[in-house]
């Protein structure tokens, strides 16, 4: 399952697609995915990709363990925490359960975006306030949508998604530690499902880490693949 093969590139990024791979490159990083070749071709592929995206840190995703092994031999390593080296590709093609007591709103203003960014940074241990304006402009220019979940009037969870021709790819999300267990994450999944239905593409897909996978499976998501993720420094 390769979202980059189906989703439009974000603003300021370019996508190069060949018969054997897909490269999504921006000004600061690049992502290699959609791998369709045998492990002995990995060195020549890496040379070609480096030529097209020189000087950028490179993230690779693949469903194939043999290709992951071939790129490890070329210097790729596990991603930095909290990202794990493997995750589950999950899909949902029916409505998840509704949740009561949680209000969900689409992010519509810069201030709301900052709230969501702070939630995301708290959950994943980032600190991006200095980059907030640039991130906001990039997201507003691209296909990504964002939502906030409120419990007793307080924003406690954030979720995002990118619309593709077959459904929504859940591209990020998280709940503040002191607000977990109240249904905010589930409410965000339901809100994004309803958005997918309005778009005429009633399906959700996600790359889930171990923390979120059990919750998503309880909501009806099914595993369709295991995804290996590796990184190579610039």
Supply the pLDDT for residue 5.
66
Instruction: Output phi, psi for 51, to 5 deg.
Output: -65, -35
For 50-59, how does the pLDDT look when each residue is reduced to its tens digit (9 = 90+)?
Answer: 999 999 999 9
Q: Which domain holds residue 54?
A: 3-86
**pLDDT classification of 82: cutoffs 50, 70, 90:** confident
Do 108 and 170 sit in the same domain of this protein? yes
Domain end position, chosen among 59, 86, 113: 86
Q: To 10 degrees, what angle do helices 42-52 and 65-72 make?
A: 70
Query: Per the domain annotation, does 72 fall within a domain?
Result: yes
Query: Per the domain annotation, does 137 fall within a domain?
Result: yes
- Residue 87 to residue 61: CA distance in whole angstroms: 10
Do 45 and 133 sit in the same domain of this protein? no
Do 82 and 146 sit in the same domain of this protein? no
For 117-139, how does the pLDDT look when each residue is reduced to its tens digit (9 = 90+)?
Answer: 999 999 988 899 999 999 998 88
Domain end position, chosen among 36, 54, 86: 86
Residue 8 has pLDDT above 80, yes or no: no
Do 154 and 180 sit in the same domain of this protein? yes
Query: Per the domain annotation, does 65 fall within a domain?
Result: yes
CA angle 170, 146, 219 (to 5 degrees): 40
β pairing state of 30-33 and 58-62: parallel
Query: Per the domain annotation, does 232 fall within a domain?
Result: no
- Per the structure block, which two tokens stand in for 178? 């002191």
For 194-231, how does the pLDDT look when each residue is reduced to its tens digit (9 = 90+)?
Answer: 999 999 999 999 999 888 899 999 999 999 999 999 99
Number of independent structural domains in the chain: 2
Do 186 and 169 sit in the same domain of this protein? yes
Query: Per the domain annotation, does 64 fall within a domain?
Result: yes
Do 112 and 166 sit in the same domain of this protein? yes
Query: Per the domain annotation, does 214 fall within a domain?
Result: no
- Per the structure block, which two tokens stand in for 43? 């060195």
Do 69 and 118 sit in the same domain of this protein? no
Query: Per the domain annotation, does 165 fall within a domain?
Result: yes
Query: Per the domain annotation, does 215 fall within a domain?
Result: no
């Amino acid at each position: 399952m390769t979202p980059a093969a189906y989703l439009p590139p974000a603003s300021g990024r370019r996508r190069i697609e060949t018969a054997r791979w897909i490269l999504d490159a921006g000004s600061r990083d690049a992502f290699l995915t959609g791998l369709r070749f045998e492990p002995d071709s990995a060195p020549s592929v890496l040379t070609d990709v480096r030529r097209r995206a020189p000087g950028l840190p490179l993230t690779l995703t693949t469903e194939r363990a043999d290709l992951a092994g071939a790129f490890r031999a070329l210097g790729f390593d596990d991603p930095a925490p909290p990202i794990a080296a493997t995750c589950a590709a999950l899909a949902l093609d029916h409505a998840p359960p509704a949740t009561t007591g949680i209000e969900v709103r689409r992010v519509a203003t810069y201030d709301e975006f900052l709230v969501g960014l702070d939630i995301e940074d708290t959950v994943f241990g980032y600190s991006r306030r200095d980059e907030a304006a640039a991130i906001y402009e990039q997201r507003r220019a691209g296909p990504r949508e964002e939502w906030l979940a409120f419990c007793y009037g307080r924003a406690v969870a954030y979720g995002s998604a990118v619309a593709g021709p077959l459904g929504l790819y859940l591209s990020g999300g998280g709940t503040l530690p002191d607000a977990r267990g109240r249904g905010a994450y589930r409410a965000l999944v339901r809100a994004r499902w309803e958005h997918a239905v309005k778009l005429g593409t009633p399906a959700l897909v996600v790359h889930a880490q171990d923390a979120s996978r059990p919750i998503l499976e309880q909501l009806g998501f099914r595993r369709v693949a295991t995804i290996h993720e590796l990184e190579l420094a610039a």
